[in-house]
A = this chain, B = another copy of it.
Amino acid sequence: MKEVRIGILGGGTVGGGLIDLIAQQRSVLERRIGVQIRIVAVADRSWQKKAHLQNQDFDVTDDPQGVIARNDIDIIVELVGGLEPARQWVLSALESGKSVVTANKALLANHGAEIFELARAKNCGIGFEAAVAGALPVIRNMRRVWVGSDIHEMFGILNGTCNFIITRMQKEGMPYEEALQIAQEKGFAEADPTFDVSGRDAAQKLAILSSLAFDHLVQEKDIKVEGITELSPLDHAMALRMGRVIRLLAVARKDGDGYLLRVHPALIAQDHLLASVEEENNALFTDDKYSGSTMIVGRGAGAFPTASAVLGDIAALARPASSPEVWLSSGKAVRASEDALYRFYLRFRTVDQAGVLASIAHELAVQEISIASMHQEEGPEPVDVVILTHDARESQLEKALTRINSLDIVHGPSVALRLEEPGRH
């Protein structure tokens, strides 16, 4: 199997996540991309203090330029962040003909032109999915799926810290300072939160996204930025009275022969999809002439989500061009479960007479299905009886329903709907 050899600069949280992810999913990755990913070296100036950099089967060093210079490395993964020395390291890597994967939004938002130009000149790949909204595939989507797009506007919720603070203020009526403190306690905000709450972090991400959307260089300095520090509980209450909620939006819009580029707290309609983006989530809403309105939403940060995006970029650079395009290496079919536990919503149409509820409850009890609540609508016959069950087996419910539907007191087949709890398992 072909091998792709990577060197990682920066062995912190995301670097550690990447090392774990590659180790945990090794066999899955080989099957899916047909390439073996091997970490050759990690450079980290305080590697001695990091447990996840001890006793590994790769070299660990405090010399990034040494890693960049190695001949047995194909891809440099830059996870150091900041402008310098990250800029020099990325340029050195490209200069030496290596492809680069980076999560560094500040670097691309300020020195994107220089870096992309060198990558082009050297015919090297450069991946930066992780620079914006972590695992959300916003970059890939714009670069690879919507290749024919004509995006006229984009709205991003690109900073999880701000969104957490804003939704806490909105839902609990608390002042900014209190919401910030909770964010800090939960690890969603830094001790010095300025970079996030001023809107700068979102502006750097918007610079990258709008460069891709509009095919022209947008830099951080092109974007007008306002932060969230002046918001008060009254603003949220008044917004609500107007049928709106406040979000820190990163906005890019075609405007004549130029572009409107803004990061600012704004009032949006309460029933808009973006208003449903709460807590530390990130989102990007895009309006494209061809693909229509689309939103991608999810967690924008964290070690594994960011590592997941970095890994996707590594795979894209590593995968042989001729690689067959589907993962299903085995034609083996899945085993589909026949039976499962669910809470059920049940509706029966019945006659309105004594003993009806008892008869239905009895048939459920026979199948060991326990009732959480019961409701009977008043009205002319047939009347509707609605029952919510506790967890019940599908197979047992089916037996009970067969019996109940055959009762004289029940008109027509009953309705059974499951309760689903997405994301709460």
Contacts and interface: CB of A to CB of B under 8 A. Distances in A.
29 contacts: A116-B328, A124-B324, A126-B325, A135-B146, A135-B290, A140-B145, A143-B327, A144-B312, A146-B308, A146-B312, A155-B422, A215-B328, A222-B333, A224-B336, A230-B415, A231-B415, A251-B420, A258-B336, A259-B335, A260-B340, A261-B336, A266-B419, A268-B419, A276-B276, A290-B308, A291-B298, A291-B305, A292-B298, A297-B297
Interface in A261-298: 261-262, 264-269, 272-274, 276, 285, 287-298
A260 B293 contact: no
A417 interface: yes
Nearest to A148: B25
A302 B347 CA distance: 36
Interface string A29-62: 1011100000000000000000000000000000
A9 to B, nearest CB: 19
A422 B285 contact: yes
Interface string A240-271: 00101010010101011111111011111100
Nearest to A394: B224
Contact of A304 (B266, B269, B290, B320): B290
A386 interface: yes
A272 B255 CA distance: 35
Contacts of A357: none
Given A297-B273, A334-B218, A418-B264, A145 B347 contact: no
**Residue of A28, A148, A223, A257 with most chain B CB atoms under a 10 A cut-off:** A148
Given A153-B425, A234-B384, A336-B258, A325 B147 contact: no
A297 B315 CA distance: 25
Nearest to A295: B297
B294 A331 contact: no
Number of copies: 2
Contacts of A232: 347, 384, 415
A337 interface: yes
A131 interface: no
B25 A333 contact: no
For the complex, would chain A's binding face be called helix, strand, loop or mixed by DSSP majority? mixed
B141 A137 contact: yes
A327 B214 CA distance: 9
Interface residues of A, number: 139
Interface string A116-157: 110110011111010000111100110111111110110100
A397 to B, nearest CB: 13
Contacts of A419: 244, 266-268
A390 interface: no
A112 B302 CA distance: 36
Interface of A: 21-22, 25, 28-29, 31-33, 112-113, 116-117, 119-120, 123-127, 129, 134-137, 140-141, 143-150, 152-153, 155, 210-212, 214-219, 222-224, 230-232, 234-235, 238-239, 242, 244, 246, 249, 251, 253, 255-262, 264-269, 272-274, 276, 285, 287-299, 302, 304-305, 307-309, 311-312, 315-316, 320-322, 324-337, 340, 345, 347, 375, 377, 384, 386, 388, 413, 415, 417-423, 425
Contacts of A25: 148, 150, 290
B290 A422 contact: no
A333 B325 CA distance: 37
